[in-house]
């Protein structure tokens, strides 16, 4: 039998700081840039009851862990469950099983923050956030650790949501955080733009992006979702989390391909290649850059292992037993 640590969402909810998530995920993407295996998500759909089962995985040799996410969304309960199995990358033995719900906005936000650190101008001071849900909150908490923003504007179509978001973060951050009444007002004068929505259609006009802006988009992980318009993709140095995902389910990039405004050669590099120093990031202050973050096993494994180590050190979690196949299959 092998003892494996089970961590509930509550166990890991306050276990790490946003900066610790960013450090762990940066290390994960550096490994990916040096050849660590990772693949885009697999999706399985059912129409009655309607729902989706999704999984993705990665191996991070230097971290010493491998695993990923498997989650269901919809179906009869009309809810979602996030399971994160974590294995030792050397022995293959199971290390932990995490309820990944509470870490989700932080590990995804950390990937966006790593991209901002690599692709945004060093003097980036003004941030626009489009979206006001859990993912937008995770993006802001983590991104605020890599740049000293003084001005944060948030736009969401629902006035109460954007006002509540702004009030919460105005108390938490040194920056002035304010709600604005349009996406144009949010991006005007912004050095960094974060989109974290469930929109199927573009959430701002790409022709209005100012030179030198960096955009992190994390709500377009399906072919029909086009959170960014074709103009934004065409104008930008385009960096996905995984090159393979750009032509698999990155809705905005696929729309730009279909419109004929870009080719597959428009993919500049994966984020990991830039983090590892194997590809250049920003090359000028006037360059527009886009990080397309659809979610991968890279940030999942990196964050989960960081939480596993902290939980072990602090005596958090419950031991569960897994029986090796050599014993379970033979009964020995």
Same domain, 225 and 255: yes
Point out the least confidently predicted range of 71-75, 129-133, 207-211, 276-280. Answer: 71-75
Label residue 1 by pLDDT band (50, 70, 90).
Answer: confident
Within 8 A by CB and 6+ apart from 48, the residues are none
- Residue 86 within any structural domain of the chain: yes
Q: What is the mean pLDDT of residues 177-191?
A: 97
Please answer whether residues 142 and 107 qualify as being in contact, where contact means their C-beta atoms are separated by less than 8 angstroms: no
pLDDT, tens only, 11-63? 999 999 999 999 999 999 999 999 999 999 898 999 989 998 989 999 999 99
Number of domains forming the structure of the chain:
2
Percent of the chain with pLDDT over 90: 84
Q: How many CB atoms lie within 10 A of CB 109?
A: 32
- Residue 109 within any structural domain of the chain: no
The CATH number assigned to the domain holding 262 equals 3.40.50.720
Supply angle C-alpha 140, 141, 144, rounded to 5. Answer: 75
Phi, psi of 216 (to 5 degrees): -110, 120
Same domain, 303 and 171: no
Same domain, 82 and 180: no
- Residue 159 within any structural domain of the chain: yes
Domain range for 309: 2-104+297-328
Q: What pLDDT score does 331 carry?
A: 62
Same domain, 45 and 15: yes
Task: Tell me what the pLDDT averaged over the chain comes to.
Answer: 94
**More confident of the two residues 272 and 221:** 272
Same domain, 17 and 81: yes
Same domain, 206 and 321: no
Cα–Cα dist 222/156, whole Å: 21
Q: What is the mean pLDDT of residues 139-167?
A: 97
3-state DSSP assignment of residue 329? coil
Same domain, 169 and 240: yes
- Residue 303 within any structural domain of the chain: yes
Cα–Cα dist 247/241, whole Å: 12
Phi, psi of 211 (to 5 degrees): -55, 140
Same domain, 8 and 76: yes
Phi, psi of 84 (to 5 degrees): -125, 100
Q: What pLDDT score does 271 carry?
A: 98
Same domain, 132 and 96: no
Q: What pLDDT score does 332 carry?
A: 57
Same domain, 100 and 198: no
Cα–Cα dist 250/242, whole Å: 10
Q: What pLDDT score does 2 carry?
A: 86
Q: What pLDDT score does 59 carry?
A: 98
Point out the least confidently predicted range of 35-49, 220-234, 251-265. Answer: 220-234
Label residue 329 by pLDDT band (50, 70, 90).
Answer: confident
Cα–Cα dist 316/11, whole Å: 7
Same domain, 124 and 219: yes
- Residue 110 within any structural domain of the chain: no
Same domain, 262 and 133: yes
pLDDT, tens only, 94-131? 999 999 999 999 999 999 999 999 999 999 999 999 99
């Amino acid at each position: 039998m092998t003892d494996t640590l089970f961590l509930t969402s509550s166990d890991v909810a306050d276990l790490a700081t946003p900066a610790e998530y960013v450090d762990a995920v940066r290390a994960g993407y550096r490994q990916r840039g040096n050849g660590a295996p990772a693949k885009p998500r697999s999706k399985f759909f059912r129409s009655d009851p309607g729902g989706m089962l999704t999984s993705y995985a990665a191996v991070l040799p230097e971290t010493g862990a491998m695993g990923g996410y498997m989650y269901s969304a919809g179906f009869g309960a009309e809810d979602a469950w996030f399971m994160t199995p974590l294995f030792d990358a050397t022995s293959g033995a199971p290390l932990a099983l995490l309820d990944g719900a509470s870490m989700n906005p932080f590990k995804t936000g950390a990937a966006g923050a790593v991209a901002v650190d690599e692709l945004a101008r060093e003097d980036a001071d003004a941030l626009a956030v489009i979206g006001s849900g859990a993912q937008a909150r995770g993006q802001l908490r983590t991104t605020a650790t890599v740049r000293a923003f003084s001005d944060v504007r948030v736009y969401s179509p629902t006035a109460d949501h954007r006002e509540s978001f702004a009030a919460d973060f105005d108390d938490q951050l040194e920056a002035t955080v304010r709600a604005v009444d349009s996406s144009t007002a949010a991006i005007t004068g912004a050095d960094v733009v974060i989109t974290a929505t469930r929109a199927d259609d573009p959430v701002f006009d790409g022709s209005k992006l100012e030179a030198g802006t960096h955009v992190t988009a994390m709500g377009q992980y399906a072919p029909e979702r086009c959170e960014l318009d074709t103009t934004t993709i065409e104008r930008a140095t385009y960096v996905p989390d995984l090159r393979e995902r750009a032509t698999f389910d990155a809705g905005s990039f696929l729309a730009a391909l279909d419109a004929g405004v870009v080719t597959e050669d428009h993919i500049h590099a994966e984020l990991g290649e830039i983090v590892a120093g194997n590809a250049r990031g920003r090359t000028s202050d006037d360059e527009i850059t886009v990080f397309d973050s659809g979610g991968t096993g890279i940030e999942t494994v990196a964050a989960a292992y960081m939480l596993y180590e902290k939980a072990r050190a602090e005596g958090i979690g419950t031991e569960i037993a897994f029986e090796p196949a050599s014993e379970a299959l033979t009964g020995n």
